[in-house]
Chain A
Amino acid sequence: MGRNAMIYILLWLLGAPLTLILILFLLGVGR
């Protein structure tokens, strides 16, 4: 863990999952 670990944690563990959910629902995967 370096100095910028916070950014990577937030990006991959918080941003990426929420973005994936958003993209899936915006693409209209669920009908």
Chain B
Amino acid sequence: MARVEIEEVVAVEPDDGFLPWYVSWSGVFVGALSALALLLVFGLTAIAVGAHQVGQHFASWHEFRLITLAFSVFGAFLSFVLGGWAAAKVTGTRRPETAMLHGAIAWLVTVPGLLFFAALGAGGYLGAWYGGLAAPPAWAAQATPMADNAAALLAARNAALGSLTALLLGLAGSVVGGWLGSGERMTLNFSKIPHRQHGRAWGGMR
């Protein structure tokens, strides 16, 4: 019996066609979950030591105490540093660019999660700033209309600014964490191996 074996190898130049960039969703989800977990640890610690009170609205930034600020900033940043680091480690890449983008994707995954938990009312447990991600539920009638007094409007603006700050600090933290997790030197001036050569999407050995 004759047996014919045909082996065909097609080489694709990166510029000629599609060359997908492989995202390690395992790494991304581990990173996102660890960021949320550490955020919860920071938030609950802040509540336990009295740095933050659940459901507190800030009509002025002068009411925002230093320890609250410290917990908010470090909680938002360091949680996502861990998230980005975990994402990069589980992804297993040593290329800083890939690691940082995985960290950023882990941050992206947490954003809908944060919105969801804030909408459920758990935003206050994550830190002083994440409560601002929740709008008053549409199905719950408000006893006192919020828009009537200027202080409530100002509190809403401050809450939005706080949430924005926390989210952006998280993005920066996840990128730094991914960079840390890549294990490469954190300098800009080292020579990089040209990316995506020899068909390797993950970087490969050095």
A residues neighboring B (CB under 8 Å): 1-3, 5-7, 9-10, 13-14, 17-18, 20-21, 24-25, 29-31
Query: How many Å lie between the Cα of A28 and that of B97 in the bound state?
Result: 34
Which residues of B88-115 are within 8 A (CB) of A?
Answer: 96-98, 100-101, 104
Asked if residues B176 and A3 are in contact (CB atoms below 8 Å), the reply is no
B21 at the interface (CB under 8 A from A): yes
Minimum CB distance partner of A7 in chain B = B188
Given contacts A13-B104, A21-B168, A24-B161, contact A3 B175 (CB under 8 A): no
Given contacts A1-B97, A2-B195, A3-B192, contact A30 B61 (CB under 8 A): yes
B residues neighboring A (CB under 8 Å): 21, 60-61, 96-98, 100-101, 104, 154, 157-158, 161-162, 164-165, 168-169, 171-172, 175-176, 188, 192, 194-196
Besides A7-B188, A13-B100, 13 new A-B residue pairs in contact (Cβ under 8 A), listed by A number: A1-B97, A1-B98, A5-B97, A6-B96, A6-B97, A14-B172, A14-B176, A17-B169, A18-B168, A18-B169, A21-B164, A21-B168, A24-B164
Shortest beta-carbon distance from B9 to chain A in Å = 24
Asked if residues A1 and B169 are in contact (CB atoms below 8 Å), the reply is no
Query: How many Å lie between the Cα of A13 and that of B60 in the bound state?
Result: 29
Give the residue of B60, B61, B101, B172 whose beta carbon is less than 8 angstroms from that of A17: B172
Asked if residues A29 and B161 are in contact (CB atoms below 8 Å), the reply is yes
Give the residue of B21, B165, B176 whose beta carbon is less than 8 angstroms from that of A21: B165
- Can you report 5 A-B residue pairs in the complex whose CB atoms are below 8 A from each other? A3-B194, A5-B97, A6-B97, A20-B168, A24-B164
A10 to chain B: which residues have CB within 8 Å? 175, 188
Asked if residues B158 and A30 are in contact (CB atoms below 8 Å), the reply is yes
The 7 closest A-B pairs by CB, nearest first: A17-B168, A13-B175, A5-B97, A30-B161, A30-B61, A17-B171, A14-B175
Given contacts A17-B172, A20-B168, A31-B158, contact A6 B188 (CB under 8 A): yes
Query: How many Å lie between the Cα of A2 and that of B60 in the bound state?
Result: 46
Given contacts A21-B168, A24-B161, contact A1 B196 (CB under 8 A): yes
